[in-house]
Copies of this chain bind each other. A is one copy, B any other.
Amino acid sequence: MPKVGGRVGIGDVAAAAGVSTTTVSHVLSGNRPVRASTRAQVEAAIRKLGYRPDPSARSLRIQRTENVALVVPDITNPFFPQLAAGMQDILHPEGYLISVSDAALPVRSLDAVVQHLLDRRMDGIVMAPHFATPMHHTRIAESGAKLVRLSGSIDDGLGDIVRSDDTAGVAGVVRHLVERGYRRIAFINGEVTAEPGRLRIAGYRRGLSEAGLDYDEDLVKTETFTRDGGMNGAQSLLRRGARQPDAIVCANDLIAVGAMDALRRRGLSIPGDIALTGYDDIEAAALLSPSLTTVHNPAREIGRSCARLLLDRLADGYDGPPRDVVLPNRLIPRESS
């Protein structure tokens, strides 16, 4: 029963329980011992009045907002919502609020997003955009907000990093294909200027070498991370005169979709004539026919890790050097291999 004409404050609880606001506060926080009988009275008063502490007052006093932000490059990419969900798994139970900002639009530049979040006094920020610059990281670190990123290097000392192991992921795909009997395994890459391009081809090489297979540069095509890239790469691999591969590892699912178009156009069956694999596990991967063998990025688990790293610094007093967390990913075998 809130009193008429206003919200129930800690003072109302104190009055109802016949104690000071100090004691009510300590019952809530557990920051100092309270006699059991007193505590019981206070708790009864809290329940009876339906008291809920005001977060603005608390924030003002403790100089922390208990708000955390996630900045993403493109909310349309399903990876990022999953990341957000993972953060929630950990942070909601701790009472933190998570705000998600899409920094995709030019009108809403990363500069403006970061400024907005710092103005709002975020306690922690997870920066996912690959186009974030050291300037952004520095601004965040100097504001006192804790920082976690999804790529780059911890050498700048500006915060923790969480990522999944793309190289191991692709190596796992190669191992899977070798186990199934494939031997002439080709690779269609996207841009090698992008970090995933470099990491994934490294995985391809590692996979071959672990299987004792030679690296053959005729079997590797560097295109773009698009459907067209996959189409071009596959056509180039299948050109007349070339010794054909029996499997094609693609650096992402979109490339695999394009390669699938090209194979189908040539009347080749998948995986009968040629096996095909992707990377990312986009929604379409399961819906294509044949469904696409791929690697699932542990987006949710990455989100959880980000949240835990943040929480270490925010709530658990960790103040050590930046940490670099590398998570395993998961092969999803489907019909295409």
Contacts and interface: CB of A to CB of B under 8 A. Distances in A.
In the complex, which of the residues A56, A118, A257, A261 has the most CB atoms of chain B within 10 Å of its own CB atom?
A: A56
Contact of A54 (B60, B100, B284): B60
4 pairs of A and B residues whose beta carbons are closest in the complex: A284-B284, A56-B59, A56-B60, A284-B287
Q: How large is the interface on A (under 10, 10 to 19, 20 to 34, 35 or more residues)?
A: 35 or more
Interface string A74-97: 011010111011001100100101
A227 interface: yes
B99 A99 contact: yes
Interface string A21-65: 000000000000000000000000000000011111101100001
Q: How many copies does the complex hold?
A: 2
Interface of A: 52-57, 59-60, 65, 67, 75-76, 78, 80-82, 84-85, 88-89, 92, 95, 97-102, 104-105, 108, 113, 116, 118-121, 227, 254, 257, 260-261, 264, 282-284, 287-289
A101 B89 CA distance: 10
Contact of A101 (B92, B261, B283): B92
A235 to B, nearest CB: 16
A118 B282 contact: no
B287 A257 contact: yes
A121 B82 contact: no
Given A75-B85, A102-B88, A121 B288 contact: no
A183 to B, nearest CB: 29
